[in-house]
Structure 1
Amino acid sequence: MSKSLTFTAIVEAGSLNFGEGFSNISELKKFNRADGNTYTFASRQSLRYDVVRLGNELFGWNLNTVSKQKGTLQFKDELTIEDSVEMDLFGYLKTGKNSLKRPATVRLSHAISLEPYNGDMEFLTNMGLAERLGENSNLANIENHISYYTYTVTVDLSKVGIDENNQVELPNEERFNRVHQLLEVLKLLSRNIRGRQENLTPLFVIGGVYPVANPFFQGRIQLEGNSLKIEPLVQTSEFTFAGEAMKQFTKVGLTNGIFSNESEIKEAFGQVGTVEEFFQAVTREVAEYYGVAYEVAKA
């Protein structure tokens, strides 16, 4: 039976992703909405980069997987998902006489700010270096935005560790290990940017393991002041599929002391645990899906 893992998280961070900019001004990646506000975002590609970076740092994911062939940077022809967790989770395209394509089993959304950008700027100089040589310093301006952000991840558990292009099917133990490592990375996610390390550990997370691959709570996260709107989340959890309400599969993790309507969140969803408890619970369900043993870590 096919199952998927999906969750939507809220994090708090600042200035997560810059675009091309102009002159000596670095612009944040952003877009406009019909409400008249401008919102910043970190692209799914930037999130993917940091997931893979941390996968390598924490679990030794193989990054020696890329070559340049006929002017194109791509994964090496001789490698399969058995050699690369990255290729397994995020897919690949190998061009050539016999082009091979494998879709991603892990889908990430952009991390979109929940608070509008109001044009804040930061003025920078390299005065410390310039003074050493008695030179004039160089000047720069960068857009600055501290906000709550939300993003969604969806994992098709039935396709992790399986590649029909190369007739590869990994053992269930390894398939579980790869998803487990991904969850550990997402729980401790961070972004290195412009000399800063931004903490992307979730403050709130909602989701679970479902009988259908759908990012249910994507686009349902809204803030009203420092309160999290509950109704869109409750109504989404009441969706049904194959006669089953998605509410029975949905779990919520919450960091206490962040949102002003904390008691309302707990009342709406019943058993609300910590973010750590959420990740432990979904990891246990992933282990059950693959039929492998998993011992919950002790706090």
Structure 2
Amino acid sequence: MKKKALTVTVVANMTSNYSEGLGNIASVQKVFKNRKVYTVRSRESLKNAIMVQSGMYDDLQTEVDGATQKLVNSELNAATCRALEGGYMSTKGTTYVRKSSIYLTDAIACESFVSETRFHNNLYLASNYAKAQGKNIQNDADGVGLMPYQYEYDKSLKVYSMTIDLEMVGKDENFGAEASAEEKAERVNAILRAVETLSLVVKGNLDNAEPVFVVGGLSERKTHYFENVVHVEEDRLLMTDDLQAKIGEGYRTGLLKSRVFLNEAEVEETLHPLSVSAFFDALADDVKKYYGVD
């Protein structure tokens, strides 16, 4: 069978995104599974970060026509505009729908959630304002804008998968348009470069979310092929028979030698991984070969 998709599953040490807040209290997003609560970075948040960092949203144009949506027309479509590769629905005039060629899962924590609450305030700003206004911050806390706040904090190993439909990249059937092979390869590899070096800005702080372990490659199946076999327990990457069997079907692994995994030596001995950078370099070459732009 012809390989027609690219799939990777990533283990990364990243923060969660935030859900609804209550007053001055912010809580991280969570999911319930296996009778426990786990923190997550949602697939929507993850996809947006990857699209922005990859430069795929550099040519994004939006319009407001009842709803805020991506601008789409015969000149601006998925073949000519990289930002539309992530899918769109345009309801202006004729309704056009084009599904995304890039699919992600939620990034779910490997260990159940243990609440860690951080407490902050804007004391310096309030003190600065009080001084300028000749007020006493202790006697007039509300008048000078002193505001304590708190939020849950989570940075933990999380697992997520990404699959790209290589046959769909650069095509827009709504307008009978298709990008060049060179453009298709560049779009896919821009996404891969973003995953390799992913950074997130959370609560004003820069968060390094690069992979510490990654597995995958070109696939005959358009599915998250390794989603169910990559597991971390107590900071150990599980070397299951199913994981090894799937890797043996022609896939690669990449490992960042960072001592994140307590069984790093076992991972190296069992899987013989490439470095993370070498993994993505090899995958980028595979993408170029697929599109015939070697």
TM-score, normalization by structure 2: 0.89
Q: Counterparts in 2 of 1:56-95, with a 5 A limit?
A: 56=55, 61-63=58-60, 65-69=61-65, 71-78=66-73, 79-88=76-85, 90-95=86-91
Give the whole-Å Cα distance in 2 for the aligned partners of 1:40 and 1:100.
35
CA apart distance, 1:185: 1.1
Once structures 1 and 2 are overlaid, which stretch shifts more, 169-178 or 71-80?
Answer: 71-80
Give the whole-Å Cα distance in 1 for the aligned partners of 2:228 and 2:158.
12
Q: Counterparts in 2 of 1:245-260, with a 5 A limit?
A: 247-256=248-257, 257-260=259-262
Structure 2 unaligned blocks of 5 or more: 131-136
Describe the SS at the equivalent of 2:118: strand
Report how many aligned residue pairs link the two structures. 277
Q: Which residue of 1 aligns with 2:23?
A: 23
124, 148, 172: which one pairs with 1:163? 172
Change in Cα spacing, 1:26 to 1:11, as seen in structure 2 (3 Å) is: same
Q: Which residue of 2 aligns with 1:265?
A: 267
CA apart distance, 1:193: 1.7
CA contact (8 A) 1:216 1:236 kept: no
Give the whole-Å Cα distance in 2 for the aligned partners of 1:266 and 1:2.
27
Q: Which residue of 1 aligns with 2:108?
A: 112
- Tell me whether 1:206 sits opposite 2:206 in the alignment: no
- Tell me whether 1:238 sits opposite 2:233 in the alignment: no
Corresponding letter in the other structure for 1:159: M
CA contact (8 A) 2:106 2:160 kept: yes
TM-score, normalization by structure 1: 0.87
Change in Cα spacing, 1:169 to 1:83, as seen in structure 2 (3 Å) is: closer
Change in Cα spacing, 1:161 to 1:237, as seen in structure 2 (3 Å) is: farther
Q: Which residue of 1 aligns with 2:133?
A: none
Q: Which residue of 2 aligns with 1:32?
A: 32
Once structures 1 and 2 are overlaid, which stretch shifts more, 205-214 or 130-139?
Answer: 130-139
CA apart distance, 1:60: 7.5
Say which one has the larger Rg. 2
CA apart distance, 1:2: 4.9
CA apart distance, 1:98: 2.2
CA contact (8 A) 1:254 1:272 kept: yes
Corresponding letter in the other structure for 2:82: V
Q: Which residue of 2 aligns with 1:183?
A: 192
Describe the SS at the equivalent of 1:123: strand
Give the whole-Å Cα distance in 2 for the aligned partners of 1:223 and 1:185.
23
CA-atom RMSD in angstroms: 1.7
CA apart distance, 1:187: 0.8
Describe the SS at the equivalent of 1:27: strand
CA apart distance, 1:97: 4.2
Corresponding letter in the other structure for 2:175: N
Corresponding letter in the other structure for 1:127: L
Structure 1 unaligned blocks of 5 or more: 240-245, 294-299
CA contact (8 A) 1:74 1:93 kept: yes
Give the whole-Å Cα distance in 2 for the aligned partners of 1:224 and 1:54.
30
Give the whole-Å Cα distance in 2 for the aligned partners of 1:251 and 1:77.
38
CA contact (8 A) 2:51 2:191 kept: no
Deviations 1:209-247 (A, max 9, x none): 11111101114332221211110xx414535xxxxxx62
CA apart distance, 1:144: 1.1
Deviations 1:58-80 (A, max 9, x none): x78312x11011x1111213221
CA contact (8 A) 1:191 1:197 kept: yes
Change in Cα spacing, 1:99 to 1:2, as seen in structure 2 (3 Å) is: farther
Q: Which residue of 1 aligns with 2:127?
A: 131
Q: Which residue of 2 aligns with 1:49?
A: 48
Describe the SS at the equivalent of 2:190: helix
